């Protein structure tokens, strides 16, 4: 008993329950995804699931299509979000806080409900549901994730650098491309990561926005993983997604480490 008290009076050990918990419910499950991917239904080692993935044209095509949609969505969010963040970060912009809040407020409404409402809006305007609706809905859901980090970096940017550039004879255009854009890159990177990752793994939204006409990779995984006999194949698909996520987060980590820390802590 005394020893136990001694152990726990060192505060370093207070993180142990958490570490144990995380090992059990984060690390172990991720390992299990790999294990299930490499076993068959009876638990024997097999690579047949992988072989199936590479010959399964629907899965490959859906995967590529989802990647494309995610890239498109990220690009659209960047194109729309950057100017918005830039405008809000201008010194003469009077109500940046209110504006930022207005952009974040919709996120408190359940995203599925917003998606359904978007579908209804399209119906009311007589617009067809399909790829356009999908991109609109995705962009609508993830735009705040793009605006916020960019706005944060732009706002923290040292304005004297811009002034210096102007004093040295740069016009607005040069100043924007040579000073502001490079300085805002950390925010852009983390915005890209924050939009790309949820988009590429999205499910449920796509089927609602397109009335089941377009299937994204996330929905495909969902279909397989919830079907008992096909669980192992679903694990393969999840592993593929996990690899993409890992690659993306490395991309984001590389440049936006300090930014993310500044944003979250």
Partner 1 sequence: MRTFRLFFLGLVGLLGSLLSTALAQSNLTYELRIGATRDVALLEEFPESFAGEKVNVTLANGGYTTFGTLETPDVLKPLDFFFADLPSPALTAWGDSIYSYTDAEGVTWTVWRTKKEVKNRGQKVFRQNAYTVFETYVQDATSAPARSTAWLGWLCAGLLLIAGIVYAVVLIIQRRREKNLSSVEQEILRRKRLGMRRHYGSQLYLWLLLLVLYAPIALIAVFSFTKSKILGNWTGFSFDLYLNLFTGKADAGLNSAIWYTVVIALIAAVASTILGTLAAIGIHNMRARSRKAVSLLNSVPMINPDIITGISLFLLFVALGVSQGLATVCIAHVVFCTPYVVLSVLPRLSRMNPNTYEAALDLGATPAQALRMVMLPELWPGMLSGFILALTLSVDDFGVTFFTKGSGGLETLSTFIYSDARKGGLTPELRPLFTIILIVMLAVLIYINIRNSKQEEK
Nearer to partner 1, 96 or 157 (CB): 96
Among 138, 154, 162, 241, which residue sits at the site for partner 1 (rule: CB under 8 A)?
241
- SS3 state at 53: helix
Q: What is d(CA 210, CA 190) in angstroms, rounded to the nearest whole number? A: 29
Q: 233 with 224: CB under 8 angstroms?
A: yes
For the chain, how big is the Rg over CA atoms in Å?
23
Q: 151 with 187: CB under 8 angstroms?
A: yes
Q: 259 with 186: CB under 8 angstroms?
A: yes
Nearer to partner 1, 53 or 203 (CB): 203
Among 41, 47, 51, 112, which residue sits at the site for partner 1 (rule: CB under 8 A)?
112
120 binds partner 1 (CB under 8 A): yes
255 binds partner 1 (CB under 8 A): no
Q: What secondary structure does DSSP assign to 129-158, as a single string?
A: PSHHHHHHHHHHHHHHHHHHHHHHHHHHS-
188 binds partner 1 (CB under 8 A): no
The distance of closest approach from Cβ of residue 150 to partner 1 in the complex, given in angstroms and rounded to an integer, is: 14
The distance of closest approach from Cβ of residue 188 to partner 1 in the complex, given in angstroms and rounded to an integer, is: 16
Taking CA atoms, 165 is separated from 29, 154, 157, 178, 198, in Å, by 52, 16, 14, 9, 37
The residues, any chain, with a CB within 8 Å of residue 140's CB and separated by 6 or more, are: 114, 118
265 binds partner 1 (CB under 8 A): yes
4 binds partner 1 (CB under 8 A): no
Nearer to partner 1, 46 or 222 (CB): 222
Nearer to partner 1, 108 or 160 (CB): 108
Q: 143 with 80: CB under 8 angstroms?
A: yes
Residues 36-65 touching partner 1, rule: CB under 8 A, are 36, 57-58, 61-62, 64-65
Q: What is d(CA 184, CA 153) in angstroms, rounded to the nearest whole number? A: 6
Among 46, 155, 166, 222, which residue sits at the site for partner 1 (rule: CB under 8 A)?
222
The distance of closest approach from Cβ of residue 158 to partner 1 in the complex, given in angstroms and rounded to an integer, is: 21
186 binds partner 1 (CB under 8 A): no
Among 2, 125, 160, 167, which residue sits at the site for partner 1 (rule: CB under 8 A)?
125
The distance of closest approach from Cβ of residue 208 to partner 1 in the complex, given in angstroms and rounded to an integer, is: 5
The distance of closest approach from Cβ of residue 256 to partner 1 in the complex, given in angstroms and rounded to an integer, is: 12
């Amino acid at each position: 008993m005394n020893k136990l008290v001694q152990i726990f009076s060192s505060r370093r050990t207070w993180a142990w329950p958490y570490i144990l918990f995380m090992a059990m419910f984060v690390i172990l499950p991720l390992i299990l995804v790999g294990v299930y991917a490499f076993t068959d239904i009876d638990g024997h080692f097999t690579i047949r699931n992988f072989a199936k993935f590479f010959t399964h044209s629907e899965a490959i095509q859906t995967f590529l299509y989802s990647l494309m949609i995610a890239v498109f969505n990220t690009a659209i969010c960047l194109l729309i979000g950057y100017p918005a963040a830039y405008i809000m970060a201008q010194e003469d912009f009077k109500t940046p806080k209110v504006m930022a809040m207005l952009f974040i407020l919709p996120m408190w409404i359940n995203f599925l409900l917003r998606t359904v409402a978007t579908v209804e809006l399209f119906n009311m305007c007589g617009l067809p549901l399909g790829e356009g609706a999908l991109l609109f809905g995705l962009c609508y859901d993830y735009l705040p994730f793009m605006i916020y980090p960019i706005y944060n970096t732009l706002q923290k940017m040292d304005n004297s650098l811009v002034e210096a550039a102007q004093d040295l004879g740069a016009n607005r255009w040069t100043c924007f491309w040579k000073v502001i854009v490079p300085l805002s890159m950390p925010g852009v990177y983390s915005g890209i990561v924050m939009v790309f990752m949820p988009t590429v793994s999205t499910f449920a939204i796509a089927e609602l926005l397109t009335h089941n006409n377009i299937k994204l990779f996330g929905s495909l995984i969902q279909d397989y993983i919830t079907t008992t006999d096909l669980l192992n194949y679903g694990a393969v698909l999840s592993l593929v997604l996990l690899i993409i996520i890992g690659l993306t987060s490395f991309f984001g980590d590389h440049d936006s480490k300090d930014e993310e820390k500044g944003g979250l802590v």
